[in-house]
Amino acid sequence: MARPTARVLTLLELLQSGGLRTLAELAGRLGVDERTVRRYVDHLIDLDVPVESVRGRYGGYRLAPGYRMPPLMLADDEALAVLLALTAARRAETTAAAETAAAKIRRVLPARLGRRLDALLETITFTTAASGGAPTPDSTVLLTIADAIKHHNPISIRYADREARRTTRTLHPHALVVHSNRWYVTGAEAAAGAGRTFRLDRIEGARVLPGSFEPPADVDPAQQLLAGFAEAPYRHEVTLRIQATPAQIRTRLPPSVATITESPGTGWAHVEIRAESLDWLPPLLAALDHPFAIDRPAELRTRVAALADRLHRSARRSADGDDPGP
């Protein structure tokens, strides 16, 4: 589903096509209720777009005669946010109007900004169908990294980790990835040559360094990011054997959570999970509804047994007609 920003731009595009548009028609085209359309119209009016309201049985909304969206209506940061929202809308296949709106905005941008935004849009990868929910990171950091990715330049970043420890890193950036409403840059740290992933909202500054590098071939940035999540160090390292196909296991354990290795001819798969807490695993394994064996840790076996005991007692009470109480 498109973000409100994309829908407001789509509403403007519909009104700019000319004529009077009824409230019901606009609601249908935008996929929202009529009250939301009125709110979007108020937003356009707040932006000094002259939207006229026509009352009566055949009334609706139209733009004042002769009005067109001015080329300098959006600042650089606003243009970036709108184009990213419209890109998400196009990926989600919500409306063709998002495509034309993005093209019109791109045409009126200054050449310098247009080239930088083109580089950004060429380097974005989404782990799933775009929802448009990802907030835009700092535009200077985002555009600098996108330029470096496109031209294969190393970058220096100032990074603060989850505990606010600040370091300066030299990175060969490979791709920008949007996952679960967060932005990441994947790449290789120049000093060690090891693959790394950094959250963009934790990058406090970025600058392009002299030189160039050869990016890896045939690497899926989204899968690289998800695999990195599954292999990241956590408090618990869990290994399981599950009697199911990888596709069946993936319904409950996505690539960002688990690494799955199939054992051909056995009907079983080896699963590795890294987790900070074990609380969520027993009910998830029960919901998977396939035979499984826990190799480690022993604590997980204890937790699964405790859950099974609670479920068994609840089932017995139900069968005996006992009142479980409030």
- Residue 122 to residue 106: CA distance in whole angstroms: 14
Q: How much is the pLDDT for 107?
A: 67
Q: What is the CATH T-level fold of the domain 1-109, as seen in this structure?
A: Arc Repressor Mutant, subunit A (1.10.10)
- Intervals of CATH 3.30.70.250 along the chain: 233-319
Residues near 267 by beta carbon (within 8 Å), at least 6 away in sequence: 243
What are the structure tokens assigned to 145, written together? Answer: 């990294």
Strand-strand pairing, 166-179 and 124-126: parallel
Residue-wise pLDDT tens digits, 35-75: 999 999 998 888 888 889 888 777 789 888 766 555 445 66
pLDDT band with cut points at 50, 70 and 90 for residue 242: very high
Q: What is the CATH T-level fold of the domain 126-216, as seen in this structure?
A: SH3 type barrels. (2.30.30)
Amino acid (1-letter code) at residue 200:
L
Q: Taking 50 as the threshold, does the pLDDT of residue 1 lie above it?
A: no
Q: How much is the pLDDT for 56?
A: 78
pTM exceeds 0.75 for this model: no
- Intervals of CATH 1.10.10.10 along the chain: 1-109
- Residue 216 to residue 80: CA distance in whole angstroms: 28
Residue-wise pLDDT tens digits, 155-206: 999 998 877 889 999 999 988 888 877 888 888 887 766 778 888 889 999 9
Q: How much is the pLDDT for 48?
A: 80
Q: How much is the pLDDT for 72?
A: 46
Q: What is the mean pLDDT of residues 96-103?
A: 65
Cis peptide before 297 (omega within 30 of 0): yes
Q: Taking 70 as the threshold, does the pLDDT of residue 233 lie above it?
A: no
Name the region of 310 (left: φ>0; alpha: ψ -120 to 50; beta: rest): alpha
Q: How much is the pLDDT for 171?
A: 92
Residue ranges with strand state E in the chain: 51-54, 60-63, 124-126, 155-160, 166-179, 182-189, 195-199, 203-208, 236-242, 258-263, 268-275, 292-296
Lowest mean pLDDT among 143-152, 304-313, 317-326: 317-326
Q: What is the CATH T-level fold of the domain 233-319, as seen in this structure?
A: Alpha-Beta Plaits (3.30.70)
Q: Taking 50 as the threshold, does the pLDDT of residue 141 lie above it?
A: yes
Average pLDDT of every residue of the chain:
81
